[in-house]
């Protein structure tokens, strides 16, 4: 009963924010890095489910995954629905990559994350729907999210978290159009003339595109989203194969 009431209130709030919106065919969401956008055949499709999972320590707290998605949505128009099991999201960090909290509808849904995501994904006019959960994602549940995204042309981002770094559930099949793995790597020195200074420069991530419908898997080392939500290829790796130089994952600052 409580969950039904929460979903009803959520629908009303979204409807007020979207009043007067008109659905139009939307171009793919470019990530701003030509090599990545090319692998995605132009960018991330709007009406689709996208899965993002952290690697190593990121598997549990999901900070890099959240900032990656926030940076993508920062460059889109409209409100964002962000659904969590618990209220553990640091909103100022989203603002730091360009997604102002005033644009975000935060919902603490407990075990009802997938239900709230599906309901939100059916509402046209949202810039995107984000859900963070540690629950097992069945093929049926992921198909429901994909169908809801297709119906409204809203991108849906599923951020999966677990206390188990190599959680076997992450390898199970689902309906996501793209599936990503993200790991935090040591950043470079903040001052080029002082290479011995510990890495306090812009954060560095390894992005692994492990599945892309109609495309191929690939990996990149990127500089994390800046204040406008944009990524950049790491300067010293921009013209080299990541696959040939992949190194063990280390937690940022370790």
Q: What is the pLDDT of residue 244?
A: 37
Q: What is the dihedral of CA 17, 158, 58, 222, to 10 degrees?
A: -80
Lowest mean pLDDT among 22-26, 52-56, 146-150: 22-26
Measured CA to CA in angstroms, residue 14 lies from 92, 107, 119, 137 at distances of 22, 12, 10, 25
- Top pLDDT among 67 and 240 is at 67
Q: What is the pLDDT of residues 160-209, one digit of tens each?
A: 999 888 889 999 999 999 999 999 988 776 666 666 665 667 889 999 99
Burial annotation 162-180 (CB, 10 A radius, 16+ → b, else e):
beeeebeebeeebbbbbbb
Question: What is the rounded CA–CA span in Å between residue 88 and residue 48?
Answer: 26
Q: Residue 235 has what DSSP assignment? A: G
Q: What is the pLDDT of residue 186?
A: 81
What's the whole-number average pLDDT of the chain?
Answer: 84
Give me the residues paired with residue 51 across strands.
Answer: 158, 179
Edge-to-edge strands, sheet with 80-84: 104-108, 80-84, 128-133, 156-160, 49-54, 178-185, 204-212, 218-223, 232-233
Closest by alpha carbon to 158, among 183, 134, 139, 123? 134
Q: What is the mean pLDDT of residues 22-47?
A: 85
Q: What is the pLDDT of residue 166?
A: 83
Lowest mean pLDDT among 88-92, 98-102, 238-242: 238-242
Domains of the chain: 33-190+198-245 (3.40.50.300)
The CA R_g of the chain, rounded to the nearest whole Å, is 18
Question: What is the rounded CA–CA span in Å between residue 79 and residue 116?
Answer: 15
Q: What is the pLDDT of residue 242?
A: 41
Q: What is the pLDDT of residues 14-30, one digit of tens each?
A: 665 554 444 445 789 99
- Here the tokens at position 162 are 């677990």
- Here the tokens at position 165 are 């770094």
Strand bridging mode 232-233 / 218-223: antiparallel
Q: What is the pLDDT of residues 120-130, one digit of tens each?
A: 999 998 999 99
Q: Is 161 exposed, middle or buried (0-12, 13-18, 19+ CB in 10 A)?
A: buried
**Residue 113 near residue 132, CB atoms below 8 Å:** yes
CA angle 182–183–188, rounded 5-degree value = 125
Cα distance between the two ends of the chain: 46
Q: What is the pLDDT of residue 201?
A: 72
- Here the tokens at position 156 are 């849906």
The alpha carbon of residue 2 and the mean position of all alpha carbons in its chain are separated, in whole angstroms, by 28
């Amino acid at each position: 009963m409580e969950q039904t009431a929460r979903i009803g209130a959520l629908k009303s709030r979204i409807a007020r924010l979207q009043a007067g919106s008109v659905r139009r065919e939307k171009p793919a969401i470019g990530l701003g890095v030509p090599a990545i956008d090319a692998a995605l055949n132009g960018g991330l499709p709007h009406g689709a489910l996208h899965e993002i999972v952290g690697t190593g320590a990121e598997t549990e707290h999901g900070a890099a995954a959240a900032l990656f998605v926030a940076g993508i949505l920062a460059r889109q128009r409209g409100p964002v629905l962000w659904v969590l099991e618990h209220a553990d999201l640091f909103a100022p960090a989203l603002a730091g990559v360009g997604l102002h909290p005033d644009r975000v509808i935060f919902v603490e849904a407990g075990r009802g994350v997938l239900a709230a995501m599906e309901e939100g994904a059916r509402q046209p006019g949202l810039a995107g729907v984000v859900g963070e959960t540690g629950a097992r994602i069945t093929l049926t549940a992921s198909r429901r999210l994909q169908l809801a995204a297709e119906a409204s042309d809203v991108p849906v981002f599923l951020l999966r978290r677990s206390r188990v770094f190599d959680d076997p559930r992450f390898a199970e099949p689902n309906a996501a159009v793209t599936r990503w793995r993200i790991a935090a790597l040591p950043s470079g020195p903040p001052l080029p003339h002082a290479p011995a200074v510990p890495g306090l420069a812009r954060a560095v991530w390894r992005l692994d595109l492990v599945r892309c419908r109609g495309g191929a898997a690939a990996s990149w080392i990127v500089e994390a989203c800046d204040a406008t939500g944009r990524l950049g290829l790491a300067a010293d790796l921009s013209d080299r194969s990541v696959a040939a130089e992949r190194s063990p994952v280390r937690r940022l600052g370790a």
